[in-house]
């Protein structure tokens, strides 16, 4: 069995979760290939794969624009099964409808959706989750990804049903896609802080950043993924009107500390996080 992962990941969360799936699938004897979604990527060889996996981070209750664009570029493939693996910062069912545009495009091309998996991983935008939260989320992913990967290996259906409110929210917040190229022009670098490492240029999936005279220059194709500002080692990039929501620097993803309780879970949507952890094998008292 050959599984092709096409993965968009700005801060590495979706990539890490997809890697858990790939590791398990390999254990079961599957051949896995991972392609990073980038503007200059070669067309992925979907036809030779038995199963396609699309991995993406939820952006404004939707799939990121570059993932939608990739779906538009994929070849027609009658009856090709695909799964979605998505990550988001909050465990809300509001994220359940995020694949709708993607699904519509792929269905028209003959692809058949087999299932969708939703993992909660730390925010790379809005606010920084605590190290304890990151550790719990990572443990939750490690607990569940192997059995979800087994479902892929066995061709089982794992559909995620979205409620009406999730569908409405997705529809309304989709304006973000149209706004980002404009908001992205407000991204700036602090020349005094920048260390000219070029990491932002290298990591931008849209190839929207060009280093000039040792400093990044931001173009017109931003999708707001924050790969640049999150991964900047000098925290030198400000993200315009979204700057109050900026998160900078990799999470530790350590083992959860002994004795964590519900009080260690962030107060914002605490009940939903506690439920998510329980459903992923972590009981907090």
Ligand X SMILES: Cc1cc2nc3c(=O)[nH]c(=O)nc-3n(C[C@H](O)[C@H](O)[C@H](O)COP(=O)(O)O)c2cc1C
58 binds ligand X (CB under 6 A): yes
Least separation in angstroms between residue 108's CB and ligand X is 25
Distances (CA, A) of 128 to 121, 124, 137: 11, 7, 13
Segment near ligand X (CB under 6 A); pick from 54-62, 110-118, 232-240, 269-277: 54-62
- Closest to ligand X by CB, 24 vs 59, is 59
- Closest to ligand X by CB, 103 vs 231, is 231
Least separation in angstroms between residue 59's CB and ligand X is 4
Segment near ligand X (CB under 6 A); pick from 45-53, 57-65, 70-78, 157-165: 57-65
Alpha-carbon distance of 20 to 148, in angstroms, equals 10
Q: Which residues in the chain belong to E strands, given as ranges? A: 2-7, 31-36, 51-57, 81-88, 112-120, 187-189, 209-212, 215-218, 237-239
Of 170, 231, 242, 186, the closest CA to residue 205 belongs to 231
Site string for ligand X, 107-126 (x = CB under 6 A): --------------x-xxx-
Which member of 6, 65, 66, 95 binds ligand X (CB under 6 A)? Answer: 95
Alpha-carbon distance of 203 to 230, in angstroms, equals 10
Alpha-carbon distance of 238 to 235, in angstroms, equals 8
Which member of 6, 14, 208, 229 binds ligand X (CB under 6 A)? Answer: 14
Which member of 46, 54, 57, 136 binds ligand X (CB under 6 A)? Answer: 57
Segment near ligand X (CB under 6 A); pick from 19-27, 56-64, 146-154, 205-213: 56-64
* Tokens found for residue 87: 């990550």
Alpha-carbon distance of 59 to 65, in angstroms, equals 9
- Closest to ligand X by CB, 126 vs 282, is 126
274 by DSSP, 3-state: which? Answer: helix
Side-chain half-sphere CA neighbours of 138 within 13 A: 20
Could you tell me how many residues make up the chain? 285
Instruction: Give 2's strand partners.
Output: 31
184 binds ligand X (CB under 6 A): no
- Closest to ligand X by CB, 59 vs 280, is 59
Least separation in angstroms between residue 224's CB and ligand X is 4
Judged by the rule CB under 6 A, the positions of this chain that interact with ligand X are 9-14, 57-61, 87-90, 95, 121, 123-125, 224-226
């Amino acid at each position: 069995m050959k599984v092709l992962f096409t993965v968009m990941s700005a801060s590495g969360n979706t990539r890490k979760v997809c890697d858990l799936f790939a590791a398990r699938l390999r254990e079961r004897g599957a051949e896995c290939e991972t392609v990073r979604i980038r503007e200059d990527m070669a067309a992925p060889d979907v036809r030779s794969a038995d199963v396609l996996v699309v991995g993406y981070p939820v952006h404004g209750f939707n799939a990121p624009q570059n993932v939608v664009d990739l779906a538009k570029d994929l070849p027609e493939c009658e009856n090709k099964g695909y799964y979605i693996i998505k990550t988001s910062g909050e465990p809300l069912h509001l994220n359940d409808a995020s694949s709708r545009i993607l699904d519509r495009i792929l269905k028209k091309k003959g692809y058949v959706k087999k299932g969708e998996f939703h993992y909660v991983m730390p925010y790379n935008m809005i606010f920084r989750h605590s190290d304890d939260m990151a550790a719990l989320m990572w443990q939750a992913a490690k607990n569940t990804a192997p059995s979800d990967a087994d479902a892929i290996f066995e061709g089982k259906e794992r559909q995620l049903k979205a409620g009406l409110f999730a569908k409405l929210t997705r529809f309304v917040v989709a304006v973000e896609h149209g706004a980002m190229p404009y908001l992205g022009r407000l991204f700036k670098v602090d020349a005094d802080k920048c260390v000219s490492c070029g990491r932002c240029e290298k990591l931008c999936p849209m190839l929207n950043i060009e280093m000039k005279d040792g400093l990044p220059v931001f173009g017109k194709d931003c999708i707001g993924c924050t790969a640049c500002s999150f991964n900047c080692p000098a925290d030198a990039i400000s993200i315009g009107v979204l700057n109050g929501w900026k998160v900078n620097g990799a999470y530790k993803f350590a083992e959860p500390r002994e004795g964590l309780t519900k009080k260690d879970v962030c107060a914002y949507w605490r009940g939903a996080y506690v439920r998510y952890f329980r459903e992923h094998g972590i009981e907090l008292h």
